[in-house]
Structure 1
């Protein structure tokens, strides 16, 4: 039996939930322009941006190394500003049998809350929980928020 893990965190941001969700959903490729020290490129390999079943390749810098993750969009809920990605290939698959990232952008009176959920099954019990990947998501969220608040978002 595998060792399953789940990490969740809420990141409070100043930007609107709909703008944040739009970047994660339809304009994912712009994240490399916003979080340049973490994300080096996001490419669409199959399908269309933001569509369920589409395959996206992330080139990113994590734990001191250049990494790659190929992800499939598993679910999109436009009404609730949520999207779920499943990692299907790449560096994370060396440590995990499965790895999913879910993002929900929740509007608040001032700004929004970005709710991240990482769910995974480790290859073996000695692999630590993915707190560094959760921190990566927090930092990337703050970069996106800063960009959206600059007013430099492309139309």
Structure 2
């Protein structure tokens, strides 16, 4: 019997937590312009103006040199600067029974710096399924690309 597991990676950024959170919540459609690992983000249910709570988006991205697609449902906690993406369709659910990504942005003592804690909660189909460290690395790289973009913004 498998169980839900959790892995986490902190990524330090030289941008404010609020600025980064705003980008993740309200400007996610800019990801393809900011990083080469994400080719497209589209709203599947709702529209861009009202896509922040319980919206569903489809992501096209490249991981380990292969193109993949996923559909996720987003939830946001503005007070805690948390974004939770629950994957409901796509290549990821062929590998894992459940897959949830939490992005928690925490300000540092310096106003223009933060740490994003990326946590993936997942359930494997069986013991031969690898832990999704490659997805942590992908998301961490995307955040570094967002940082480079927002520093000059």
TM-score (norm 1): 0.92
Using the TM superposition, name which of 49-58 and 9-18 deviates more: 49-58
Aligned length: 149
User: Structure 1 stretches of 5 or more lacking a match?
Assistant: none
**What SS class does the counterpart of residue 89 from structure 1 fall into?**
strand
The within-5 A match list for 1:40-119 is 40-49=39-48, 50-73=51-74, 75-110=75-110, 111-119=113-121
CA deviation map 1:3-40 (0-9, x unaligned):
432111111000010111011111111111101x2000
Whether the 8 Å contact between 1:23 and 1:31 is mirrored in structure 2 is: no
DSSP 3-state at the match of 2:89: strand
Q: What RMSD over aligned residues (CA atoms) do the two structures have, in Å?
A: 1.1
Distance 1:28 1:118 in 2: 19
CA distance in 1, matches of 2:121, 2:134: 14
Structure 1 residue 80 displacement after superposition: 1.3
User: 1:95, 1:123 within 8 Å by CA — same for their partners in 2?
Assistant: yes
**Residues 17 and 107 (structure 1 numbering): CA distance in 2 closer, same or farther, change over 3 Å?**
same
